[in-house]
Amino acid sequence: MEFSQSHRVEMISMAVALVAIVGGTAYYYYVTKKPKGCLDPENFKEFKLVKRTQLSHNVATFRFDLPTPKSVLGLPIGQHISCRGKDSLGEEVVKPYTPTTLDTDVGYFELVVKMYPQGRMSHHFREMREGDYMAVKGPKGRFKYQPNQVRALGMIAGGTGITPMFQVCEELDAFAIKFPNQFKVYYVLNQPPEIWDGGVGFVTKEMIQTDFPAPASDIKILRCGPPPMNKAMAANLEALGYSPQMQFQF
C-alpha cells in the first residue's frame, strides 16, 4: 500500500489515526549495532536548523545538522528527545518530540511539528529560521524494543502521536508488501480525500479486533495520541481482553 507525500501531510495535519501491526521478530532490521550517537541524556546539546519545509499552514518539517556528515543521532526506536526553547513571554519551555528520521539517516535528523496557536513550544518553532540552533537532550522514554521481546506488536497512533509511529511508517509500508504474512498496515482518516481506500472516521473496537493479534501474554499493544484518544483506545483494548501489561502508552 503506497501513499503520496500529500496524503502523509494530511494524516498529520488533520489529526488522523494510524493502525499498524507488526508480526514476528522482523524488527531486527532496526536494532542492529549502530555507531555512537550524538545525544546526551543529561545535558542539552545545540543543533543547527539547516532546512525548514512548510507542509501546511501550521505543520512544518525542521531538518537539523549533526556534527559530521557521518554522525547519527543515536535514538532507539520508541524513544524521544527533549527540545528546549522560549515561549511568547520569553520563558523557557521544554517539550518532548520524536524525530521522523532513523539512525540510517546519517548527518541530520528531522522533526515534523504541528504548531498550535497557544502552544508554548509551538511559538518557538514558529519563530525558528534556518541558521538558528535548537537545544536537544536525550534519549528519553520508558520503552525500548529488544529482539524477540514479544511475538507481535500492535500500534495505534493519532494526531500528534503519529510521529513516534511515523518514524517507521515508510518502512512498514514496504514490509507490508514484502512480508504480507508478518506485517499489516491500516490507515484511518476522519476527513479522507476523495480517493481513499483506508478506514474512515476513528479507530474502533471492531478495527482493533479485526486487525490486531488476539490478547496474549507475548503480544504488546503500543498507543500514542491526544489524551481523549488514549483514553478511548485503552477502553476499547480493555473491553477486548488486553490487560494493562499488554499495553504501553507513549
Same domain membership, residue 123 and residue 167: no
In a domain, 59, yes or no: yes
Under DSSP, the state recorded for 27 is G
Under DSSP, the state recorded for 30 is G
Q: Using an 8 Å Cβ cutoff, are 219 and 151 in contact?
A: yes
Task: Find where cell 519545509 sits.
Answer: 53
Environment class of residue 147 by beta-carbon count within 10 Å: exposed (0-12), middle (13-18) or buried (19+)?
Answer: exposed
Share of the chain above pLDDT 90, in %: 43
What is residue 166's predicted lDDT score, i.e. its pLDDT? 60
Which is more confidently placed, 133 or 55? Answer: 133
In a domain, 36, yes or no: no
What is residue 55's predicted lDDT score, i.e. its pLDDT? 86
Sheet of 17-23, strand order: 199-200, 183-189, 17-23, 152-158, 219-224, 247-249
Residue 11 pLDDT greater than 70, yes or no: no
In a domain, 56, yes or no: yes
Mean pLDDT of 113-139: 95
Number of domains in the chain: 2
pTM of the model: 0.66
Q: Using an 8 Å Cβ cutoff, are 100 and 166 in contact?
A: yes
List the CATH number of the domain containing 205. Answer: 3.40.50.80
- Average pLDDT for the chain: 81
Same domain membership, residue 213 and residue 175: yes
Same domain membership, residue 183 and residue 110: no
- Give pLDDT tens digits for 38-81: 999 999 999 999 999 998 898 899 999 999 999 999 998 778 89
Same domain membership, residue 122 and residue 90: yes
- Cell for 138? 536525550
Q: Using an 8 Å Cβ cutoff, are 164 and 97 in contact?
A: no
**Residue from 146, 143, 65, 135 nearest 107 by CA:** 65
- Give pLDDT tens digits for 165-210: 565 567 667 878 888 887 788 888 888 888 988 888 888 899 899 8
Q: Using an 8 Å Cβ cutoff, are 215 and 154 in contact?
A: no
- Cell for 12? 498529520
Same domain membership, residue 165 and residue 211: yes
Same domain membership, residue 158 and residue 91: no
Distance of CA 176 to the CA centre of its chain: 18
List the CATH number of the domain containing 55. Answer: 2.40.30.10
Q: Domain range holding 192?
A: 5-30+145-249
What is residue 165's predicted lDDT score, i.e. its pLDDT? 59
